[in-house]
């Protein structure tokens, strides 16, 4: 049982690596994080993946 109410799943982490904008959309919906991730992913894929992992794991 996880403490702290974190709802990060393995599927979200895998999606954050394979399809970063989809992972952010499923986690937060369409908002600022989603649009930032779209821009980061379009410019360079690696920053998009890093941002998606940070959003999905609730680090930012």
Number of domains in the chain: 1
**What's the CA angle centered on 16, arms 13 and 19, to 5 degrees?**
135
- Give CA–CA dist 17/4, Å, rounded: 24
Domain carrying residue 44: 10-57
Q: What is the pLDDT of residue 20?
A: 95
* Domain membership flag for residue 3: no
* Domain membership flag for residue 2: no
Write out the chain's pLDDT in tens, 60 residues: 344 445 678 888 999 999 999 999 999 999 999 999 999 999 999 999 999 999 999 887
* Domain membership flag for residue 19: yes
Q: Does the pTM exceed 0.85?
A: no
Q: What is the pLDDT of residue 6?
A: 57
Beta strands (DSSP E) in 1-60 are none
Q: What is the DSSP letter of 41?
A: H
* Domain membership flag for residue 28: yes
Pick left, alpha or beta for residue 57 (phi over 0 → left; psi -120 to 50 → alpha; otherwise beta).
alpha
Three-state DSSP class for residue 44: coil
């Amino acid at each position: 049982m996880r403490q702290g109410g974190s709802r990060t799943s393995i599927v979200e982490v895998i999606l954050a690596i394979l399809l970063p904008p989809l992972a952010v959309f499923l986690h937060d919906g369409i908002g600022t994080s989603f649009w930032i991730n779209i821009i980061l992913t379009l410019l360079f894929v690696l920053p998009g993946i890093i941002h998606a992992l940070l959003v999905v794991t609730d680090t930012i």
